[in-house]
Structure 1
Amino acid sequence: MIAPARRLAGLLLAVLASLLLAGCTPRQLVVGSMADALAGQGRVSENDLELARDAAPFYLKLSESVLQQQPGHLALAESVAGGFTQYAYAFVASEADRLESVDSKGAERMRQRAARLYQRAQRHAVNALELANSGFVRRLASSQPEDWPRLKPEEVGLAYWAAASWGGWISLSKDDPEVVADLPLAVRLAQLAWASDPDWGQGSLTSLLASFEVARPGGSPARALALFDQAIAQSAGRSAGALLAKAEGHAQPAGERALFEQLLRQALAIKDAPDSPLAMQNEVMRRRAAWLLEKADDLF
């Protein structure tokens, strides 16, 4: 997820030092090397949730500034969009849910902030896709399937974060019909990404499709359930997020409390290897699973 600030700062200083030692380096080469370093650092796993939360503003603001100088850097755009999306979910929207019972106005302010962060992530991701594929947004909105853009393998992660952040923004903007009207585009983008690489993210993309299937008008609960189960299988049971997605997207709406609690306990039981790329995501989801179990009486 988001790496600690000290490790990131040391990495960037090393990059800059090596460039300076090489002689007079063009500014664009310096910025490009920083973009590469930041994009790579965004993929480093971190298992200390509080450390990740504290480091996030530094990493996101610095990465966003470099991305403005290198807007066509797909890996950095993916890292920035993913970082803002994860920060919005883990540290803002989820906290708003917990705050709701004691401070509804404060919770609403946090949800509005989360919506802005999701919007920011979506803008970065979609802008990068547009730069890589001129007319991408126009073709995505076409009513003719033959016009829809085709995603290259290196663009699937970017499309995932674009669709995920778009969905988060829409979910928190129910009073804004213009934002809600874009749900079919977010769903279509996720479908195009899935068509290119259905196994992306160890089931994360499949899980997103399942959640969209539940949310979209006319969606099929049976199709959503099949996708939720496929996502769990793709992660080999190592993703707490896939289990929570099924719990909140299928079991809770269906009123199946026993299944709901079973899935949450399975999520809580997941033990991560120290270098697992799912470590931070799983810790976020385990904390949410514990909270949902405490709230089960209110949810059913």
Structure 2
Amino acid sequence: MAPPPSTPPALFAQARRLARVLLVPLLALGLCACAPRQLVLGELADSLASQGQSAEDDPDLARDAAPFYLKLSESVLREQPGHLPLSAAVAGGFTQYAYAFVAFEADRMEATDARAAARLRARAAALYRRGRDHALRALEAARPGLRHQLETQGSPSPLDKKMLPSAYWAAAAWGGLISLSKDDPDTVADLPVAIQLARLAWALDPAYGDGALASLMGSFESARPGGSPQQAQAYFDEALRQGAGRNAGAFVAKAEGLAQPAGDKAAFVALLQQALAVRDAPGSPMNLSNTVMRRRAEWLLETADDLF
């Protein structure tokens, strides 16, 4: 099972904005030399979290800028592990980077260099784990004992609204990690826990991410043992409804999560063609994720004969 290809506003920061972000704590220190270290770090964490939501429509620029943004944000997050907005930005950044630029490259390379593809998948799995752990750490700080509750209780207590983005990205990264860990029974055994976390997010806001959370729920339902194809279809259809034709990833998710396992090539092709037809308004926060997903749709169409 892959992580949801449809995402909330792109979490890859633009490189040219990072210099301005870095000036925030320096300016604060210059204006008040006695400013507490944690206050300055908190301001930097807020700035990095907001930069993580910046729109970007150039996947290659996003790919090149993301490592610097992620490393900087990760170092700040280690000092502010309970900062929920930054944890969501970092977890989302690692998840999207792993999916769009590492795991996808592995998929495309599989036919020509299986060994290199395996190395890339191992790297993608490590990135998914890294993003998941950052989000889980922040959730645990906000709700001590949450992971234990997820693992041992049928119905943990509801999450606070402020925990929703981190919960979504923790679940999405977890799904990506599980999808690349078929030979690791302990990781695969975490699938019910990841699903439980996604359900807690769903209980807070089923419309989160303009179809992103609904796509995640559909992917989980189609992947879990004993999952209901009918329920998975309901989730995917809800994702399409919420996306309102603006979310290319919702079409790709349904194609890979429902049509492909069912062996329905006609539906698979039709959904991917609909993904390719999605056009973005200038400045749309969906530009980057839609561009990435249209690239995946094109590749899936090119390889459709090998998949069916």
Query: Which residue, 261, 265, 276 being the options, matches 2:273?
Result: 265
Q: Greater RCO between the two (CA within 8 Å, min separation 6)?
A: 2
Q: Does 1:224 align with 2:232?
A: yes
1:11: how far off?
A: 2.7
Alpha-carbon displacement from aligned partner over 1:197-244 (angstroms, at most 9, x marks no partner):
111111100110000000000000011011100100011111011100
- Structure 1 counterpart of 2:298, one-letter code: A
Query: Which residue, 129, 134, 155 being the options, matches 2:139?
Result: 129
- Conservation of the 8 A alpha-carbon contact between 2:28 and 2:35: no
Q: Name the CA distance, whole Å, in 1 between partners of 2:28 and 2:75.
A: 21
Unmatched 5+ residue regions in structure 2?
1-10
- Structure 2 counterpart of 1:262, one-letter code: A
Q: Does 1:205 align with 2:213?
A: yes
Where in structure 1 do 4 or more consecutive aligned residues deviate above 4 Å? none
Match of 1:193 in 2: 201
1:22: how far off?
A: 4.2
Match of 2:149 in 1: 139
Matches within 5 A, 1:147-162: 148-162=156-170
TM value normalised by structure 1: 0.97
SS in 2 for 1:173: coil
Q: Does 1:94 align with 2:104?
A: yes
Match of 1:8 in 2: 18
1:274: how far off?
A: 2.1
Query: Which residue, 290, 301, 306 being the options, matches 1:298?
Result: 306
- Conservation of the 8 A alpha-carbon contact between 1:140 and 1:149: no
- Conservation of the 8 A alpha-carbon contact between 1:80 and 1:124: yes
Q: Name the CA distance, whole Å, in 2 between partners of 1:40 and 1:12.
A: 13
Query: Which residue, 278, 281, 288 being the options, matches 2:286?
Result: 278
1:23: how far off?
A: 4.5
Question: How many residue pairs are counted as aligned between the two chains?
Answer: 298
SS in 2 for 1:88: helix
- Conservation of the 8 A alpha-carbon contact between 2:88 and 2:169: yes
- Structure 2 counterpart of 1:184, one-letter code: P
- Structure 2 counterpart of 1:110, one-letter code: L
Match of 1:24 in 2: 34
TM value normalised by structure 2: 0.94
Q: Does 1:109 align with 2:119?
A: yes
Q: Does 1:50 align with 2:66?
A: no
1:254: how far off?
A: 1.3
Match of 1:164 in 2: 172
Unmatched 5+ residue regions in structure 1?
none
Superposition CA RMSD, Å: 1.1
